Amino acid sequence: MRKKNSTSGDNTKRAKGFTLVELLVVMAIISLLMAILLPTLAKVRTLSRRVLCRSNIRQIYTGWQVYFEDNDQKFYRGLNDGGINANIEFGGWRGSSGEYGSYRPISECLNMDPNSEESTEIFRCPADSGGILGRPPQQKAYELYGNSYQLNTLLVWVPVPSGPYAALYKEISNRLTGLTRDKVSEPSRLLFFGDTNWVTQWSPFFPQGIDWHGKDQHYNIAFLDGHTAFLKIEKGPFAASKYRILPFSDLDELVPSLEK
């Protein structure tokens, strides 16, 4: 009987649980694991959003293919062919701000309702965090414009500013009415559309664009021939070694004097 009681006492001792030192060791191990895993999880989340965004862009390009086939290969330049806001209003929905139109031809080419936010989800970049020039920092492009993506503005509308850019922009503007794909230079190198802030990134008139995908100056982009890339966009130039922004190569000779 004494032997049995002794064993019972030992079991009671073991059932008391962890000591303070043991708990501290466990907490330290958990903290260490969290410190190791959290950055990795954040990177995975960033990468998954980047991949989904690129998938959106591929689907949107499919809508453009339908539009080109139905419109004699012409670019969409707004209802009155003036081009203003066509770089935004080509697809998506009307947006929550009420500032932009509800006619979105690429959405319709993809059988989506441009009056429905839920119907046009592929025009929402999952990493859309705003950073739009002249707007509150937290305002997302999809909420404002109804579209997280923007066209190369030189394909639809350009201002004619005074100063050294005036002659170049005037010549581009003269060519835009009725512009078709076959009139554009090097479609495999020409940037077509991408994450909305890429248009302020390359433009010489605006500060550097805000990127959404965790890599400085990098944006998801569709080229005019349909291939896509996660691409670093240089600030300022109209043509670069990996891509071009200026749609007409015969005007390239005007660029160096402007960029010096």
Q: Could you report the per-residue pLDDT of 222-253, keeping only the tens digit for each?
A: 999 999 999 999 988 787 788 999 999 999 88
Tens of pLDDT along 184-233?
Answer: 999 999 999 999 999 999 988 889 999 999 999 999 999 999 999 999 99
Residue 174 lies in a domain: yes
Mention every residue, 6+ apart, whose C-beta is less than 8 A from residue 22. Answer: none
Q: What pLDDT, on the 0 to 100 scale, is given for residue 37?
A: 67
Tokens, residue 245: 């922004």
Residue 83 lies in a domain: yes
Mention every residue, 6+ apart, whose C-beta is less than 8 A from residue 139. Answer: 130, 132
The residue written with tokens 């010489």 in the block is: 204
Domain that holds residue 180: 16-259
Cβ pair 202, 186 in contact under 8 A: no
Q: What pLDDT, on the 0 to 100 scale, is given for residue 10?
A: 52
Residue 107 lies in a domain: yes
Residue 197 lies in a domain: yes
Strand ranges of the sheet holding 228-232, from the earlier edge strand across to the other edge: 149-151, 191-195, 218-223, 228-232
Residue 10 lies in a domain: no
- Long-range contacts: 108-112, Cβ < 8 Å, 24+? 109/63, 109/64, 109/66, 109/67, 109/70, 110/59, 110/60, 110/62, 110/63, 110/66
Q: What pLDDT, on the 0 to 100 scale, is given for residue 85?
A: 93
Cα gap 108→99, rounded to integer Å: 20
Residue 3 lies in a domain: no
**Three-class SS state of 24:** helix
Number of domains in the chain: 1
Q: What pLDDT, on the 0 to 100 scale, is given for residue 22?
A: 73
Closest CA to 235 of 254, 252, 216, 253: 216
Closest CA to 135 of 57, 223, 206: 206
Model pTM? 0.83
Closest CA to 123 of 144, 152, 97, 98: 144
End-to-end CA distance of the chain: 100
Residue 11 lies in a domain: no
Task: Inform me whether the pLDDT recorded for 38 exceeds 80.
Answer: no
Residue 4 lies in a domain: no
Q: What's the gap between Cα 213 and its chain centre?
A: 8
